[in-house]
Structure 1
Amino acid sequence: MTEAPEPGVPNGRAPARHRPGTPCRVSLMVHGMAAAQAFYAELFGWEFQPGPSRLGPCVRALLNGREVGGIGQLPPGRHLPVAWTPYLASDDVDLTAETVRLCGGTIGVGPLETGGTGRLAIGSDPSGAVFGLWQARARPDAATAGPLPGTPVWQELLTYETTGAATFYARLFGYERKPDGSADVDRVTLHLDGRPVAGVHGLGRALPRDRGPHWTTHFEVADTDEAAERLVALGGRVLTPARDTAHGRVATVTDPEGARFALIRSAR
């Protein structure tokens, strides 16, 4: 296994010490490390530093000196899906990983140490959607004043139906579940301490069979249309053209290796 906002209330505004269950980091496993770094550097302005060697070849992605994600190298010959993986904060990764198993999920990696920076595990929920758990050793970066272009600001789970999926994650972290409010849309928002932190969207048979249930990371951009055009010029692909939503202007895209994510200009 590998590793839309309630825009206007992005994860970047989370308290300096992440409450368990808060999306706190993202990672991507790729076949071509150099090409991936070049792509995201051009798209988001990221810079890179070497990551923990215990995890294999990997780099930390930085924006203005702040870590925004990580990129790792898939083992040669391993034909695994290339996908962004969100990590949920935990005060005790070992205990949370055991709870994942007890609630019907699986743990495929870890728990393990990451060179003194923290402890992680990577698993999947009962429907197969992959996510990570992260227990930081150091205090997280201070919150920013608002959504900064190039940073992950929201995580949304696309799955078959919301009831079972939301119940699983609520058992892990005690989320409060609030329905979308629309009778014809199966969507709920997960809240912690009254603050929206992630979404769950049930698509039923409309969920792509070649993808299955998965989390989608939304990255803030200054201009969704311009960012989508730049992405295509860099070798990426637009799956869903930019569109206006109640939360901002969003486009669903892939990088050159096929990793799906979303570009969003959050509603102000």
Structure 2
Amino acid sequence: MAALPEGTPCWADAMFTDLEGAKDFYGDVLGWTFGESSSEFGNYTQAYSDGKAVAAIVPPMPGAQAQSAWCLYLASPDAAATARRISANGGEVVMGPLRVGEFGTMVIAKDPGGVVFGVWQAGGHPGFEKQGEPGAYSWAELVTREPAKADAFFPAVFPYGMKGLDSEEFDYRMFLVGGRPVLGRMAAEGDVLPPEAPSYMSVYFAVDDTDAAIERLRARGGTVYFGPLDSPFGRFAAVGDQQGAAFGLIDLGRTEGEPPKTVDA
């Protein structure tokens, strides 16, 4: 599988103190199965849907104290060059560039508004083996209190075009690669984010029935933050797992209404 174009979401992983609890939760809610933990790489454990790699989970490093959270990785042909652009444009390189065996090179970074994301220069691991189907990654968006900073930062770091949604209800933009939307940006206005919640990258996983997935999620101790709501893009909800990692669920087959028009941004 060839590496994805620069700036395209290519992988997602999350840190969990209770790795077995995460396996039980996501195995039930999303139908994932899990491979063997790789002790060489900190017990990094890949998740599979229909036998295809869709994400990974990992325990925290010894002595580390961190909130469980999903991290989205954006493809780069040169992680070191991307890291330099991150720093030059007001972002922060938190980790890396770090070579991960023969799999590739990673960077963990923050945008100027504090949103954590990853960069992945593919080697033997190009990223998602399945997308846009139940059990797999489908979309992601920055939910940020600093939308103007994000709008300036990301197109300076990645080769993004940008479009806005023609809406008076919310401030939403999309970053494009080759004219195709690959990532959203939602301004955290009103009650989009609770006051205590940080800006973050919301990673959406597709399901075949959002309401049924929510029932499974609640039974496993998860939380529904927003929704479910029908939209032109699918029936979706913002949720969290039992360890506090926020993510999204979306049934791409259940759409309602016409997509909003886009405008140049």
User: Quick check: TM above 0.5?
Assistant: yes
* Alignment CA distance shift 1:91-1:214 (3 Å): same
Given candidates 75, 81, 90, the residue that maps to 1:95 is: 81
CA contact (8 A) 1:89 1:134 kept: yes
CA contact (8 A) 1:236 1:254 kept: yes
**Mean alpha-carbon deviation: is it higher for 88-97 or for 131-140?**
131-140
**Corresponding residue for residue 4 of structure 1:** none
* Alignment CA distance shift 1:113-1:139 (3 Å): closer
C-alpha separation in 2, matches of 1:162 and 1:123: 17
CA contact (8 A) 1:242 1:251 kept: yes
C-alpha separation in 1, matches of 2:98 and 2:38: 12
The AA in structure 2 aligned to 1:27 is D
Unaligned 5+ residue runs, structure 2? 256-265
The AA in structure 1 aligned to 2:28 is E
Deviation of the 1:107 alpha carbon: 1.1
The AA in structure 1 aligned to 2:95 is V
Q: Count the aligned residue pairs.
A: 253
TM-score norm. by structure 1 comes to 0.88
Q: In the TM superposition, what whole-angstrom CA distance separates every residue of 1:233-257 from its partner, at most 9, and x where no partner exists? A: 1221111131111211001111110
Other structure's SS at 1:232 match: helix
Given candidates 200, 208, 215, the residue that maps to 1:222 is: 208
Greater RCO (Cα-Cα under 8 Å, separation 6 or more): 1
**Corresponding residue for residue 158 of structure 2:** 173
**Corresponding residue for residue 253 of structure 1:** 239
Q: In the TM superposition, what whole-angstrom CA distance separates every residue of 1:142-185 from its partner, at most 9, and x where no partner exists? A: 976x7211101101100014332022011111211101111342
The AA in structure 2 aligned to 1:91 is P
**Corresponding residue for residue 149 of structure 1:** 134
Q: In the TM superposition, what whole-angstrom CA distance separates every residue of 1:167-226 from its partner, at most 9, and x where no partner exists? A: 201111121110111134211011111111010011246433322210000000000000
**Corresponding residue for residue 70 of structure 1:** 56
1:43 equivalenced with 2:19 (yes/no): no
* Alignment CA distance shift 1:148-1:100 (3 Å): same
What is the RMSD of the two structures over their aligned residues, measured on CA atoms?
A: 2.0
TM-score norm. by structure 2 comes to 0.89
The AA in structure 1 aligned to 2:232 is A
* Alignment CA distance shift 1:235-1:76 (3 Å): farther
Percent of aligned pairs with the same amino acid: 36
Other structure's SS at 2:126 match: coil
CA contact (8 A) 1:161 1:201 kept: no
